[in-house]
Homo-oligomer: A and B are copies of this chain.
Amino acid sequence: MKIGILGYGNLGRGVEYAVKENPDMELAAVFTRRNPAEVKIQTPNVPVVSADDAKNWKDKIDVMILCGGSATDLPVQTPKFAEMFNVIDSFDTHAKIPEHFSNVDAAAKNSNHVAIISVGWDPGLFSLARAYGNAILPDGKDYTFWGKGVSQGHSDAVRRIKGVKNAKQYTIPIDAALEAVRSGKNPELTTRQKHLRECFVVLAEGADAAEVERQIKTMPNYFADYDTTVNFISEEEFYKNHSGLAHGGFVIRSGSTGENKSHNHIIEFSLKLDSNPEFTTSVLVAYARAAFRLYNEKNFGCKTVLDIPPAYLSAKDGADLRAHLL
């Protein structure tokens, strides 16, 4: 399988590492909107090509993995590239998935390609956990917790405050809430009861710390509904201790069965990730294998993780999986 990468940031680099772990795949080319001469990749003898020249690679790439952002890149790129390639994206704006699906489906069906969208861990593996949990325990409740990990959107919101030079925001699930859910009590939890928000802020010269803290803690939608801690630190400490991209979270389905619903069951799926982009791209690469199989079966159009048989992610055949993993 020949893999192409579109966009060489954290995700692009992650795909490059992940392809090396899969002996049935090879990286064919990296496509960039920057000047290709200025993009240095890790893999020797793999060309870096202008994204505008992708149309000349139609027969040389089995699956193109799109590594752009959900806000502005993917809504345009995924339908456009699905006209030319089988594609995988990690579109994660939950509310806009139906619209994105419909645009990508039209493009992929029109050109006889396969597109798998919203691949990663949420949406992605967490969606799988929710879907299995709901189907198996129809009488139950879903709980999703995120963290501990960096929220890019919340970090950006803090950085936009006057007087802030740099900032990182960690989303932290509250242990007491997790334990209440695991106990099978099906608690109703407020926003404040589920997650804490912790900020590490480097102030600009002469900034008013108290005023920055007030603005963070009262920011509607982002912080006002949470218990938030704000820590002011030096730029040195910021780069030393807050450059990581760790993340994770928990999906719990709690449901009951039987006479009088007297038996409770907890299905829990959790992730603890040292690198959010490297794990996300490991998922993208596994689904690239599935996309190529669906393409070979002429099962064209747009799909999500919910449509893909688990065995399609594996390089092993059915007999091998039944003998060793089932």
Contact = CB atoms under 8 A, between A and B. Distances in A.
Given A263-B278, A326-B97, A131 B21 contact: no
Interface in A262-297: 262-275, 278-279, 282-283, 286, 289
A275 B255 CA distance: 12
A273 B265 contact: yes
Interface string A21-51: 1100000000000000000001000000000
Given A274-B264, A313-B132, A322 B18 contact: no
A97 B270 contact: no
A143 interface: no
Contacts of A270: 266-268, 270
A308 B311 CA distance: 8
Interface of A: 14, 17-18, 21-22, 42, 94, 97-98, 101, 118, 123, 125, 127-128, 130-132, 134-139, 182, 184, 257-259, 262-275, 278-279, 282-283, 286, 289, 304-311, 313-315, 318-319, 321-323, 325-326
A146 to B, nearest CB: 15
B278 A257 contact: yes
Contact of A266 (B21, B136, B271): B271
Nearest to A282: B136
A86 to B, nearest CB: 18
